[in-house]
Amino acid sequence: MTGLVTLVGAGPGDPKLITVAGLEALRSADVVVYDSLAGKELLDEAKEGAELIDVGKRGGHHKVEQDEINRIMIERAKAGSTVVRLKGGDPFLFGRGGEEAQELRAAGIEVRVIPGVTSAIAAPALAGVPVTHRDHASFVTFVTGHESEDREDERIDWKGLATLGGTIVILMGMARLGRNMERLMDGGLDPSTPVAVVRCGSRPEQRSVLATAATIERRCREENIGSPAITVVGSVASLLDVLGDLR
């Protein structure tokens, strides 16, 4: 009998922020295939004898390539196991959950998803930055910040983002923080636009800095703020100094 694969969002890092449904799925799984950004304390919730498989990315390098991750899940499910694919944040927000669900369905595997608290909203919130605010921004745009620099068909319209307004939340973009700010400013973003960067949101080591589009890279370098981090561009970022740490 073919098993089940459940894509579970582990939340932004604090193990307490996983959903009740996600925790129930984790506790009943025969196999847990987990990422680096999923809180390691959650693995203690797996049942005795469960197979724990680390497929996380370290220093920009995948410990296990995506094709192999898909193969592992399909193989275990076809053997009759109940599999949980544990992902940091939410599986369907830059988590490749949609791609994995497609591969599993194509292989005839039953697949379900349990959404998670995304770091794109949670990390700024816990640092005192609401991504929307009546007086600042009525909409928010989520964007990945790590597309390859040598792509000829880059899909992100930085100029469009610069002129769109609202809040821009950049995930996975610390390695190209300065370059991405330059793209936005070249596209018309005011260099004095507030920018907040929140590192390790929800974790005890959470840290944040506030600067401008023109100075944020230097400030992060001075404060030793690196990955994993969320970047918030827009006037809402200025609320970091108003609201402070809301953990």
Burial 131-151 (b: 16+ CB within 10 A, else e): beeeebbeebbbbebbbeeee
Question: Could you tell me if 108 and 128 lie in one domain?
Answer: no
My answer on whether 146 and 237 are in the same domain is yes
Which residues constitute the domain of residue 92? 4-114
CATH number of the domain enclosing 161: 3.30.950.10
The residue out of 114, 143, 170 marking a domain boundary is 114
CATH number for the domain spanning 101: value is 3.40.1010.10
Does residue 125 share a domain with residue 30?
no
- State the CB neighbour count (10 A cutoff) for residue 242: 8
- Residue 166: its pLDDT value, please? 96
Q: What is the DSSP string of 125-154?
A: HHTT--S-BTTTBS-EEEEES---TT-SS-
Does 147 share its domain with 110?
Answer: no
User: Are residue 129 and residue 105 in the same domain, yes or no?
Assistant: no
Q: Which residue has the higher pLDDT, 131 or 154?
A: 131
User: Is 93 within 8 Å of 69 (Cβ atoms)?
Assistant: no
pTM, rounded to two decimals: 0.91
* Residue 184 pLDDT level (bands cut at 50, 70, 90): very high
Element spanning 23, H or E: helix 20-28
Least confident of 30-39, 55-64, 158-167: 55-64
Last residue within a domain, chosen from 94, 114, 134: 114
Q: Which of 61, 91, 114 is the last residue of a domain?
A: 114
Residue with tokens 């009943």, as numbered in its chain: 28
Which residue in the block uniquely carries the two structure tokens 């990945």?
144
Active site residues: 35, 57, 172
